[in-house]
Amino acid sequence: MNDKIYFSLGPVQGFVAQARRTRDLWSGSFLLSYLAGCAINEVLTKGGKITVPDVNEDELLAWIGGSRKGDAPMIGSLPNRFEAIASNPKDVADSAAKVVQQKWEQIAQAVWDEFLTGVAENGRNTKVIWDRQIKGFWEISWVIGPNISLMNSRKNWRTCRPSEEGGDHCTMMGDWQELSGFIRSHERIKQNGFWNRVQSRVGKLDLRENERLCAMALIKRLFPKVSGDAIGWKIEAENWPSTPYIAAVPWLNQVMGIAASDANNYASDVLKTAQGAKRKGISGKIGLLSDRKAEPFLNLDGNFYFESALADSGRTPLDGTPLALDINGEEPAEVKKKREELLRLLNRLGDKVGSRPFSFYAMLLMDGDNMGKLIGEKGGEPISKALSIFTGAVRNTVQKHNGVTIYAGGDDVLAMLPMPDAIGCALALSKKYVDSFKESIPEVDATISAGLVFSHYHIPLRSVMEEAHHILDDVAKDQNGRASIAVSVLKPSGKYCQWTATWDRLIGENGTMPVDDLVSRVQAGDKKQFSTSFFYSLRDDLSILSEDPLWKPGSYGELVEGLDPVRLLTAEYMKSRERTVTREEAEERVKALLELSYKSHRATGPKSNILNADAAMLIKFLSQTADGGME
């Protein structure tokens, strides 16, 4: 029989990317991968064979199937789509779909039993809302036929989109009704009372005062706490690194090298005042810190490293912080005094180290190029084998760069990293991807693209994920011809810059990274080669030379034919220097910066007459990590 089962589970973006915390993001991707694994396991149990992806060595599938060796898998590694063959494909596919819903309802029941039993009666039709959402969320699709085109057209069979739910909506997944069932405009007290009761059950740091969630969002948030009952094994993911924690990693390493004793004393005072601040084992997930994972200071909630976050009672509650503050937003005097003392200690620690943590982190999203075309040319099984090799290397590569992997399955990667390590990690993963195909299918020219967002940790995760998908799909892939990386910086005031390059532009002639080299030239203390004011002058000069405004991130200008910007920019550079610098030295430095500013498309290569100011602004931004950076 030539017919295959083509199975798909969704919505992906509707479940994974709608997140307010990194644990939500991880939990959504893990649960989606787990449910896909349950469907795959059912196919195998019924005598079928999975042809795409290669699941022979997948740890998550092994645990789902009962072969539990080593540590429990924490990272989703199975995609939401698969292909299979079976002697009775219709029955097998139907059984796999039913298993997905059964496993999902089992997970939902575990969360309900632990956190909503005894609380739900304080809502209005909470159980009705819960059951409706749990039973109607997943879109499980499967077709049987000779090729995947049938599955690709399956999305056109639906005649209408699901209608938006009534009532007040979830603060995480906005299309769905929040669980209290009350209308905030005239039932605020009842609604607050319901969520205060839930908060008292789960803890202040796991459910903030302004969070009102639907069933799916609450499951994503609380699933790690009940994973043993929900899926049959305990996942140590309750203490998942937050965005402020990842942002603080370079500073944490610096603190432990200079003032470890003071830092641990500060942690002791924090834990006496805020028991919920303890994040046991969190440092063990970070390569840089893993050898010191028992240190109390390294296992605090990330908000306790930032003075502005610690000063905010809503974001960083202490033990005596009430569920609802008084009418003036004030804590009780005793709690306020404790907070002021912690702030004094944290400030003193920063003074002793000589820096504060920088408040930006990196979100990395990667996706293989032309995957459908490769599968069509070479077949699914050999491509899946190459992807399996790549997936097996992702987590270790990310950890070596002090990041945490959120998802790694097939040709997709999602990870968070500290700022200084992010571009190097993206480049290393790109090389791993190419090498994995060379090892498995040498004749295939396989490439991967990346979207890398440097974001302030205050910016909602949903906005960060939307930006990552935009610069990956629309910029790195569509605009730049694939095999590229697009980088953007999101500040609270808006997008700061957007820079794009092919992977080869990230590697210099001596094997070093030009970006790192230029950042170090800005960071070199009294010997630094670039002043930050020069970067703004460069942007202004390039706008004049190209007669195009280059203020908008991602915009390029085309120079007048025959015009060489090096001479003018060299003169500008020499004016910005307080010390004497030779013209030859100045010209070399300007050329190094311009090399990264030229438009670099995969098909055409770099064009020295088309350039932007974003490379310079990115270098300026990255250089701020040297001094720890202020919030």
In-domain check, residue 443: yes
| 3-class SS of residue 385 | helix
What is the average per-residue pLDDT within 210-230? 95
My answer on whether 146 and 196 are in the same domain is yes
**What is the residue range of 579's domain?**
514-631
Question: What is residue 415's predicted lDDT score, i.e. its pLDDT?
Answer: 97
| Percent of all residues in the chain with a pLDDT value above 70, rounded to a whole number | 94
Q: Which pLDDT score, from 0 to 100, does residue 587 have?
A: 92
Asked if the model's pLDDT at residue 526 lies above 80, the reply is no
DSSP code, position 610: E
Cis ω for the linkage preceding 73 (within 30 of 0): no
> Which has the closest alpha carbon to 31: 94, 74, 83?
74
- What would the two tokens of residue 377 be? 């040319």
User: Is residue 238 domain-resident?
Assistant: no
Nearest to 243 by CA among 465, 30, 411: 465
Q: What is the mean pLDDT of the chain?
A: 90
Output the domain CATH number for residue 129: 3.30.70.2220
Same domain for 53 and 138? yes
Last residue of a domain, one of 196, 231, 266: 231
Q: Are residues 196 and 251 both part of a single domain?
A: no
Do 420 and 521 reside in the same domain of the chain?
A: no
For residue 206, the 8-state DSSP code is: T
For 63-97, what is each residue's pLDDT tens digit? 999 988 888 999 999 999 999 999 999 999 999 99
The predicted-structure confidence for 438-452, as pLDDT tens digits, reads as follows 999 999 999 999 999
Q: Are residues 260 and 324 in the same domain?
A: yes
Quick one: 473 and 522 in the same domain? no
**139 located within any domain:** yes
Given a cut of 80, whether residue 184 has pLDDT beyond it is yes
Domain boundary among 353, 370, 399: 353
109 and 43 belong to one structural domain: yes
Whether residue 53 is found in the same domain as residue 109? yes
Q: Could you read off the pLDDT of 190-205 as tens digits, one per residue? A: 999 999 999 999 987 7
- Whether 139 and 10 have beta carbons less than 8 Å apart is answered as yes
What domain count does the chain have? 4
Structural domain contains residue 606:
yes
Lowest model confidence (mean pLDDT) among 223-227, 474-478, 493-497, 545-549: 545-549
Position 127 in a domain: yes
Q: What is the pLDDT of residues 244-270, one digit of tens each?
A: 999 999 999 999 999 999 999 999 999
Question: Would you list the DSSP string of 130-179?
Answer: HHHHHHH--EEEEEEESSTHHHHHHTTS--SPPPPP-SSBPSSSTTSB-T
- B/e letters for 229-263, b = 16+ CB within 10 Å, e = fewer, are ebbeeebbbbbbbbbbbbbbbbbbbbbbeebeebb
pLDDT at 486 over 60: yes
Q: What's the pTM?
A: 0.92
For residues 39-58, average pLDDT:
95
Q: Which pLDDT score, from 0 to 100, does residue 603 have?
A: 86
> What pLDDT shows up at residue 178?
98
Report the CATH number that the domain containing residue 413 is assigned in CATH. Answer: 3.30.70.270
Residue 627 clears pLDDT 80, i.e. is over it: no
What is the predicted pLDDT for the residue at 159? 38
Whether 237 maps to a domain, the answer reads no
Residues 220 and 262 reside in one and the same domain: no
Distance CA 179, CA 309 (A): 29
- Least confident among 109-118, 215-224, 320-329: 320-329
Q: What is the pLDDT of residues 324-355, one digit of tens each?
A: 655 566 889 999 999 999 999 999 999 999 99
Pick the last residue of a domain from 480, 506, 532.
Answer: 506
Say how far apart CA 515 and CA 504 lie, in whole Å.
12
Q: Which helix H or strand E contains 538, and what residues bound it?
A: helix 532-546
296 and 349 part of one domain: yes
Within-domain flag for 236: no
Q: Among 16, 35, 41, which residue's Cα sits nearest to residue 27?
A: 16
Least confident range of 113-127, 361-375, 591-605: 591-605
346 belongs to a structural domain: yes
Contact of 513 with 423, CB cutoff 8 Å:
yes
Tell me: do 577 and 559 sit in the same domain: yes
User: Are 214 and 87 in the same domain?
Assistant: yes
Mean pLDDT of 136-153: 79
Q: Among 128-137, 152-161, 221-230, 390-399, where is mean pLDDT lowest? A: 152-161
- CB atoms inside a 10 Å sphere around CB 533: 10
Q: Which residues pair with 487 in a beta bridge?
A: 452, 499
